[in-house]
Structure 1
Amino acid sequence: MRVLFIGDVVGDKGVSMIETYLPKIKQDVKPQVTVVNGENATPVGRGISQSIYKRLMSYGVDVVTLGNHAWSNSEILDFIDDTNRLIRPYNFPKNVTPGKGYTLINVNGKQLAVLNFQGRVFMDNLDDPFSLANDLVNKLNKTTNCIFMDFHAEATSEKLAMARYLDGKVSAVVGTHTHVQTNDARILPQKTAFLTDVGMTGPADGMLGMQPDSVISRFLNQRPARFQVLETGRGILSGCVIDIDDKSGHATSIKTILYTDDQVID
């Protein structure tokens, strides 16, 4: 089983990069499941709308994951319960949060579980992702041993801790949120694939997708600044491709991919 995962889609540029490059990438790597993090996909870079969600699905995406900006566009409350292919972090408060934290995808008679969790270090103090992930994985193992997790977290230590905690129990733990692709893709000792951060998809010449001037000003004067998505310049698409043994659920390889409008790095 081959899974393509593409990192945090930011603004209109990010959505257009999916439209332009996803067909080409799928032709090259031939994934059976494509997962995209879409929590920054609106033009303002926070949240997702129903129209953008439908656009991403029409471009060939199978599952859209979210993160700490899941609720930044209130429109999501109108449609998240109506789809199984848009998932939010599982560890939001139970019973009072709309939507689902995982989904199951059929792949040639085998099921892939796609999970979404959010970290707590330097982020909102949600329910414990470690204990909840352990309980959910034990439940899902009765159905499938092919399990992919998007762990939306700030601290690199927390991302690696989650991967090591679940090593051998899930197929892959890939980090999102920090928008910069890391160079540490590897298979852990018990055959779980890990990457600290898959990177972002959006404006290549911004600062994490935002206009640089306002970000730099905040560092210079320490005053609040309104960050806006950069709308001009090159685009970037960041992702990874993971191969999973269908029988054991173990990852056999993980490879990063990085596209800009003027360069392909693989």
Structure 2
Amino acid sequence: MRILALGDVVGEPGRRLVEAFLPDLRRETGADLVVVNGENAAHGHGITETIAREWFDRYGVDVITTGNHAFDVKGIDGYFRQEPRLLRPANHPPDTAGNGWVKLHTPSGAEVLIINLMGRVHMPPCECPFRCVDAILQKERADLVLVDMHAEATSEAQAMGHHLDGRAAAVLGTHTHVPTLDAKVLPGGVAYVTDIGMTGPYEGVIGMKKEASLGRFLKVQRPRYEVAEGDLQLHAVLVTTEGRKATAIERLLRRL
């Protein structure tokens, strides 16, 4: 089985990359399942119902994961309640709108459990992702388990990879928007990467115009973030599995 996962899609430039490459990329890789992190898809913060529906209906996305910006767009909580394939972190407080995991069947008949988690280091308050995922796996069973670990700290993401080695087929990091070079299969059979990297404009700072980021570091004022425009790159990983374990993880890059 093959699973294609795209890192954080940032703003309109990131959405253009999805439109330009994702349908062909799915065909080229023979992916059975496509997971995209969409928490920055709307102007760099949050996601809209229109964007999510377009990805599901037109571009072959099976599951959309999010993170700390999941609810930035006003009114999106209603769509989170309506659409089980749009995930928010499972370790949000229990009364949060939407679901933190979903089970899907692939065309081959395999049942895949996709779990969305968020780290706690330098992130908004949330429950322990380690205990949260343990609780989910105690009650949910599937042929394969894939986890989007939305974390700021590389150590927390790496720890989650080892925590789930032997119990998940993939633990894929998102959030930092910076692709890391540590894609590998751990001894227990989990495909791991600290951060897939964003799908969006790389000319600025984590997808935003560099002037705003420099201003925040150099001045008292906090300039408003605006999505950058140049050097458009789609970053993804392709995970190959056999049985319940991963056998390979490959980085993919497309430029527009």
TM-score bracket, normalised by the shorter chain, equals: over 0.9
**1:133-156 Cα shifts (integer Å, max 9, x gaps):** 01112222xx31400000000000
Q: Match for residue 251 of structure 2?
A: 256
**1:188-221 Cα shifts (integer Å, max 9, x gaps):** 1111110000000111312111011111122222
Distance in 2, Cα, partners of 1:216 & 1:55: 34
Distance in 1, Cα, partners of 2:38 & 2:225: 18
Paired amino acid for 2:255: T
**1:77-105 Cα shifts (integer Å, max 9, x gaps):** 121111111010000001x1110001111
Matches within 5 A, 1:233-252: 233-245=230-242, 247=243, 249-252=244-247
Distance in 2, Cα, partners of 1:136 & 1:145: 14
Report whether the alignment pairs 1:101 with 2:100. Answer: yes
TM-score (norm 1): 0.93
Distance in 2, Cα, partners of 1:233 & 1:170: 36
Q: Match for residue 151 of structure 2?
A: 153
Distance in 2, Cα, partners of 1:121 & 1:217: 24
CA RMSD of aligned residues (A): 1.1
State the SS of the aligned residue for 2:122: coil
TM-score (norm 2): 0.96
Structure 1 runs, 4 residues or longer, greater than 6 Å off: none
Q: Match for residue 69 of structure 2?
A: 69
Distance in 2, Cα, partners of 1:163 & 1:145: 18
**Which one is further off, 75-84 or 250-259?**
75-84
Matches within 5 A, 1:120-199: 120-140=120-140, 143-199=141-197
Task: Mark the runs of 5 or more structure 1 residues left unpaired by the alignment.
Answer: 262-266
Distance in 2, Cα, partners of 1:113 & 1:87: 12
Aligned length: 254
Q: Match for residue 47 of structure 2?
A: 48
Report whether the alignment pairs 1:37 with 2:34. Answer: no
Distance in 2, Cα, partners of 1:32 & 1:110: 10
Distance in 2, Cα, partners of 1:23 & 1:145: 25
Distance in 2, Cα, partners of 1:77 & 1:157: 31
Distance in 2, Cα, partners of 1:191 & 1:172: 8
Matches within 5 A, 1:209-228: 209-228=207-226
Task: Mark the runs of 5 or more structure 2 residues left unpaired by the alignment.
Answer: none
1:222 Cα shift? 4.6
Asked if the contact 1:15/1:56 (under 8 Å) is kept, the reply is no
Identical aligned pairs, as a percentage?
39
